[in-house]
Structure 1
Amino acid sequence: MSSLRQVWALPTVLVAIANISATWYKLVSERVPRPYLDEYFHVPQAQRYCQKDYTWDPKITTPPGLYLASLLIKPIAGCDISALRALNVGAICLICLLSYQIRRLLRRPLPPRRTRTEASVPQFKDDETQTSLLDAHTALNISLFPPLFFFSGLYYTDVLSTLVVLAAYSTYLSQRGTHNYLLSSLLIINIGVLALLFRQTNIFWVAVFPAGLAVVDTLKSYDEMLDAPVEQAGPRHYFAFLFYLPRDVLMKPIAVIKAVFPYLILLGLFGGFVLWNGGVVLGDKSAHMATIHLPQMLYLWPYMVFFSLPLTLPSLLQPILPVLPNHLRSLLETNLTGPSSPSSPIAPSALAALLFNVSAFAAVHFNTIIHPYSLADNRHYVFYVFRLLFRHPVVKYLAVGVYYICALLTIRILGAPPHPAPTPSAKTAPKRQQKLASAKDSSVQISFVLVWVGATALSVITAPLVEPRYFIIPWVIWRLHVPVEPGRATTVRLALETAWLLAVNLGVGYMFLYREFTWASEPGSVQRFMW
C-alpha cells in the first residue's frame, strides 16, 4: 500500500492542478474573452509572430520567449487568444512537476570527496514513501501560489518565465557531482539562455544564484567551509561566513573557477546583449528606467509571510507552548507545531534586530520611491496597500517593525523542524552515522539564505515599480527549500497551506471575474481587479 501511494502521489497532484487551472482558464475565457491589460500588447505580438511577422511593438520591453513558444505550438493549437492562454495552463502543470523533481533532488546529499576510510560507511536514505507524498503536496502548493496561479489563465510571461528558471535550477541540482563537465556546462548554458528569452532579470536566477551555490558546494566538498544551520545561526555566523569566504575561495581558486565557469559564460552573453541593445530592456526604455529602490527588499518580507501564513504557525506558537496546559500543548505539538525543542532560539538576536531596523529606517527615509502607477491604477492590489502605507507620514516608519517580524519568520521557517529525542539504538550508533543522520535532517544552511537574499536583491531593487509578480521567483525558490519532514504536524501544515492558497485564489479570482467596474474617464470600458 505504501509503495502504491508513492507511485500515485505525483500523478494525483498533477491531475489536481490540471483540473484547477483548467477550471480557472475556462472561467476567464468565458468572462474575459478579449485581451485584458498587458494582454492587449502580448496577444497581437504573438499573433504577428504566428504569421511570421517579427515587427516589434516598442511598448513591449521583455524578450520574445513567450511569443516564440506560441509560435512553436501554433501547428497544434493555433494562435487565437484561447490557444495562447492555454499555453500557461500547461506551463503551471509543468511547474508542479518540476517542483516535485527539485524537492527530490534537494533531498539527495551533495556528493562528497570520500576517503578510503569513509567509502564503506553506509549512507542514510529517506523514507521514500513518506517524503515523496510530502514533496508531491509541496509541489501542488507551489503551483497554487496565487500571484503565479492567477496568470495561468491569462497570456502573460510570468508562468513560462518561472518554468524555465525552475528548469535551470533543476539542471544545476541534477548536474552536481557529474563527471561529464563539458556536457553539463553546455546544458546549463543552453537552458540559461532559454530563460533569458523570457525575462532579463532571470539572469540573476540562472547565473548569479546557482553560481553562488556552486561556490559553496565546491568549497564544502573540500571541507573548506563552515556552514551553520539556520536555526542555530546568529549574526556572528553570517558575518563569519562572509568574512572567511574570500579566503576559502583563494584556497581553491581552480576548483571554484571550474564550478562557476558556465555561469560566467551566461553573464558574458548577457553583458554582450546589453551592450548591443544599449540597455537591459527592449522597446521603450524610458518606460522602465532602472534605479536603486532598496525598500523593495522590505516589501518582500510581508509578501512572503502573507502567502505562507500556515507555515509561520510553529514559529509563532513555539514560545508559548511551555506555558499552555498539558493537554493543549500536546494537541498542538502533535497536530501543528511538532515537539518543542529547548535548543531552538526563542528570542531574536538584539544585534540582528538593531542592524535590520537601523538599515530599514534609513532605506525608508532616504530611498522610498513611489512610482506614479502605484497610486494611480486602482486595478491592482498594490494601489490599496500603498494607500494604507502612505496615508500618514508616520505609517511607513511604523511598518519597519512589521518588516522585521516578517523577515524573522521567513528565515525561521527555513530552520529544521524539531524532532523527538533519539531512540536508544540511535544513541549507541557510531558517531559517523549519527553525523550523517543529523545532516539528513538538518535545516537549510546560512549559505543558501545569503545567496538567495543576494539574488533576490539584485532582481528587485532596480525596479521603481512595486509589483507582486516581481517576487514570484524568490518565493518559489524559498518555498522549495522549506524543510518538510515526515510527521502529522507537517501533514496538517501542508493541508492548511493548501486551504489558504485556494482561499486566496478563490477571492482574487472572484474579484477579477465578477467585481467589474468602470472609470469615469473611460466610460464603457470594463476594469478588473488583479495582482
Structure 2
Amino acid sequence: MGRLVVAATVAGWAIPIAALVNSVVPEPYMDEIFHVPQAQQYCRGDFLTWDPMITTPPGLYYVSLAYVASFFPVAWMFRLAETFDVICSTAALRSTNVVMAMVCAVLFHDLLLCIRPGIGERKATIYAILVALYPVHWFFTFLYYTDVASLAAVLAMYLFCLKKQFWISATFGAFSILFRQTNVIWIIFFAANGAISYIQDLYPKDNVSQENTEATHQSNKVVSGRGNKTAAQGLRRRRINSPISKKLVISESSHLYSSLAEELRDICLKLWNSKCEVLIAFAPFAVVMMAFVAFIIWNGGIVLGAKEAHVVSPHFAQFLYFGLVSAAALLPWHFSPRRVLDLFHLSGKNKTCSFLAVLMGLGLSFVAVHFFSIAHPYLLADNRHYTFYIWRKVIQVNWLMKYMLIPLYVYSWFSIINILGKSQTRVWVLSFVLSVMLVLVPAPLVEFRYYTIPFVIMVLHFPVIGNRKLLALGLLYAVADVFTLVMFLFRPFNWEHEPGTQRFMW
C-alpha cells in the first residue's frame, strides 16, 4: 500500500507540473540541446551518430526508446503518429524522468524499510515523498537529464544488494554506469559493504559470543552481589540459548571494536579466511568492474565527449561544498540547538583528540579552499544555474568570504560523520566519505545535481526524526521547489558572464 501511495503522490504533482513546463518551455533547455537530438536520432534507428559534446553513455536514450515504444502502438492506432520517431518529442522524452522519479520514490521507500525495519510503513512513505521533493532532484524530474534515471538505477542496485541478490544488483550497477560513469564508485561501495555484511553472516558465533560475554558478565556482577550462584548460572544459560537476530548482532558488534584499526583488522581477517565464498558470491560485481576497466582502456578515459572541458582535476573544495549543501538541505538534523550542543558535549569527552581533529579539519579545509578551488568556464558562463550566483555573489564576493565559510564546511562534515556513526560502523562511514570524495573531487564543475546520489544514500542511513521536523523540512522543500519553478518559467534571463568566458546562447 505504501508503494502505491508514494507513486500516486509523486505522479499527482509531477504530471501537471511537467505539462506546465512543456507548455511554457517547449524547446530543449540547457543541456537538453544535446540530449534531446541524440535521443531522437535513436528513435529514427540511427545508433551510429553521436554528438561529441555528450559526456555520458547512452543509457537514458535506451530507456526512453523502450518507454516511448510502449505507447507507440496506441498512437499509431489512432493515427497520431505514422512513424516511431514522430512521438519522440521533447515533452515525451522529458516524461521519461517523470516515470523515473516515481520509481526512485518507490525504491527509496523499500530501501528504508529494508535498512530500518522498525520505521513503519507510514513513516517510510512520508520519507519517500519528502526525498522526492528534494529541490535538486525535483527540478530535474521535468527536464531530459540523466540524473533521475541514474539515481533510480543506483537505488535499485543497492536494494538488491541488501537482499543478497547479487547478480541482479550487479546488472543494475552495470546499467547505472550507462547513465553516469561515476556510478562505478557506488558499485564498489555497495559491493564492499555487502561483502562485509556477508562475512558477518558467516561468523555469527563470534558476534554472539562477544555480545553474550558482556551480557553474562554484567548479569554475574548483579547476581553475585546477592550471593546467588545458581541463579547466575541459570541466567547465563538462558542468555546463551536465547535467539538473537542477525541484524541485532551486526548492529551490536559494530560497537565492540575499540578502534577503527581493530575493526579493519577483524574484517580483513574474516575476508581472507572466507575469500573463496566471498569471491564466488560477489563475482558479478567483479565482472562489471573488469568490463568498466576495458571501457576506459578502449575509450582512453572515463569521459566520452567534450574531454577538454571535463578533465579530471583535484577539486577538493567540491568535497567541502557537498558537506555544507547537504547539511543545509537537512536543517533539522544539523543546525538545531540540540545538535550543536551534542557536538560540543562529544568534544568535551576527549578535549585533546577533539581539538586536534578540529584543527586538522580546519587546516585541510584551508588548503582545499586556497589551492584546490576551481572556477570552471561553464560555472562562469551560464546564469541559469544557482551555482553561478552562489559563486559570484557569495564565495567570490570578496577575497575573505571563501575562507570565512571554512568553519561551516568543517562543522557540516563533523555533524554528518557523527550522525552516521551513531547507526553505522566506522568502516561504513569511512567508506562512504571516501566514496563521496572519489565521486566529487575529480569533477572540475560545481553542480549540485552531482550531490544527489550521495545525499540520498546519506538520508537512508540517518536516524528517524519526528513528524514536526519532517513537516518543517517538507514545507521548506516545497517553498524552494515553487521558487525554482517560478524563476525557471517566468524570469527573463539577461545573460551575465565573466569577461573572457564563452557566452551561451539561449
Question: Which residue in 2 is equivalent to 1:353?
Answer: 358
Cα deviation, 1:315-351, whole Å, max 9, x if unaligned, reads 532566xxxxxxxxxxxxxxxxxxxx99973758323
Question: Which residue in 2 is equivalent to 1:68?
Answer: 62
Question: Which residue in 1 is equivalent to 2:227?
Answer: none
Q: Give the distance between the partners of 2:416 and 2:314, measured in 1 at CA.
A: 24
Q: Give the distance between the partners of 1:151 and 1:519, measured in 2 at CA.
A: 22
Shift of 1:402: 0.7
Question: CA, structure 1 residues 391+274, in 2 after alignment: closer, same or farther (shift >3 Å)?
Answer: same
Q: Give the distance between the partners of 1:390 and 1:377, measured in 2 at CA.
A: 16
Question: Which residue in 2 is equivalent to 1:29?
Answer: 22
**1:437-516 matches, cutoff 5 A:** 443-484=423-464, 490-516=466-492
Residue type at the aligned position of 1:173: L
Contact 1:319 1:346 in 2 (8 A): no
Task: Name the SS for the 2:494 alignment partner.
Answer: strand
Question: Which residue in 2 is equivalent to 1:101?
Answer: 110
Q: Give the distance between the partners of 1:376 and 1:153, measured in 2 at CA.
A: 23
Q: Give the distance between the partners of 2:101 and 2:348, measured in 1 at CA.
A: 39
448-457 vs 146-155, which moves further: 448-457
191-200 vs 46-55, which moves further: 191-200
Question: CA, structure 1 residues 499+449, in 2 after alignment: closer, same or farther (shift >3 Å)?
Answer: same
Q: Give the distance between the partners of 2:253 and 2:326, measured in 1 at CA.
A: 17
- Does residue 285 of structure 2 align to residue 263 of structure 1? yes
Question: CA, structure 1 residues 277+495, in 2 after alignment: closer, same or farther (shift >3 Å)?
Answer: same
Q: Give the distance between the partners of 2:301 and 2:253, measured in 1 at CA.
A: 38
Shift of 1:261: 2.7
Contact 2:14 2:98 in 1 (8 A): yes
Shift of 1:414: 3.4
The answer to which structure has the higher helix fraction is 2
Cα deviation, 1:443-473, whole Å, max 9, x if unaligned, reads 2333321221122111111111111011110
Shift of 1:59: 0.9
Question: CA, structure 1 residues 491+280, in 2 after alignment: closer, same or farther (shift >3 Å)?
Answer: same
Show structure 2 runs of 5+ residues with no match. 73-86, 211-249, 498-503
Contact 1:230 1:444 in 2 (8 A): no
**1:54-65 matches, cutoff 5 A:** 54=47, 55-65=49-59
Question: Which residue in 1 is equivalent to 2:231?
Answer: none
Residue type at the aligned position of 1:61: T
Contact 1:312 1:409 in 2 (8 A): yes
The match for 1:170 among 159, 164, 182 is 159
Question: Which residue in 2 is equivalent to 1:284?
Answer: 306
**1:126-525 matches, cutoff 5 A:** 126=118, 131-175=120-164, 184-205=165-186, 207-221=187-201, 222=203, 237-238=259-260, 240-242=262-264, 245-312=267-334, 316-317=337-338, 345=346, 347=348, 349-387=354-392, 388-414=394-420, 443-484=423-464, 490-519=466-495
Q: Give the distance between the partners of 1:168 and 1:98, measured in 2 at CA.
A: 10
Q: Give the distance between the partners of 1:353 and 1:229, measured in 2 at CA.
A: 28
Q: Give the distance between the partners of 1:385 and 1:230, measured in 2 at CA.
A: 44
Contact 2:159 2:169 in 1 (8 A): no
Question: CA, structure 1 residues 170+318, in 2 after alignment: closer, same or farther (shift >3 Å)?
Answer: closer
Residue type at the aligned position of 2:370: H
Question: Percent identity between the aligned chains?
Answer: 34
Number of equivalences: 436
Question: Which residue in 2 is equivalent to 1:426?
Answer: none
Contact 1:304 1:475 in 2 (8 A): yes
Task: Name the SS for the 1:35 alignment partner.
Answer: coil
Residue type at the aligned position of 1:14: A
Task: Name the SS for the 2:346 alignment partner.
Answer: coil
Q: Give the distance between the partners of 1:152 and 1:135, measured in 2 at CA.
A: 21
Cα deviation, 1:344-379, whole Å, max 9, x if unaligned, reads 737583232123222212222332222122233222
Task: Name the SS for the 2:379 alignment partner.
Answer: coil
Q: Give the distance between the partners of 2:329 and 2:379, measured in 1 at CA.
A: 21
Shift of 1:164: 0.8
Shift of 1:13: 3.0
Q: Give the distance between the partners of 1:203 and 1:168, measured in 2 at CA.
A: 11
TM-score, scaled to structure 1: 0.75
Task: Name the SS for the 1:200 alignment partner.
Answer: coil
Shift of 1:511: 0.9
461-470 vs 304-313, which moves further: 304-313
142-151 vs 394-403, which moves further: 394-403
Q: Give the distance between the partners of 2:432 and 2:283, measured in 1 at CA.
A: 20
Task: Name the SS for the 1:483 alignment partner.
Answer: coil
Show structure 1 runs of 5+ residues with no match. 1-6, 109-125, 176-183, 321-340, 417-442
- Does residue 96 of structure 2 align to residue 87 of structure 1? yes
Contact 2:255 2:425 in 1 (8 A): no
Residue type at the aligned position of 1:84: L
TM-score, scaled to structure 2: 0.79
Shift of 1:278: 1.7
48-57 vs 217-226, which moves further: 217-226
Shift of 1:215: 2.9
Q: Give the distance between the partners of 1:101 and 1:152, measured in 2 at CA.
A: 20
Q: Give the distance between the partners of 1:49 and 1:347, measured in 2 at CA.
A: 61
Shift of 1:80: 0.8
The alignment yields a C-alpha RMSD, in angstroms, of: 2.9
Q: Give the distance between the partners of 2:496 and 2:374, measured in 1 at CA.
A: 28
Shift of 1:415: 5.9
Task: Name the SS for the 1:517 alignment partner.
Answer: coil
Q: Give the distance between the partners of 1:31 and 1:342, measured in 2 at CA.
A: 47
Question: CA, structure 1 residues 47+96, in 2 after alignment: closer, same or farther (shift >3 Å)?
Answer: same
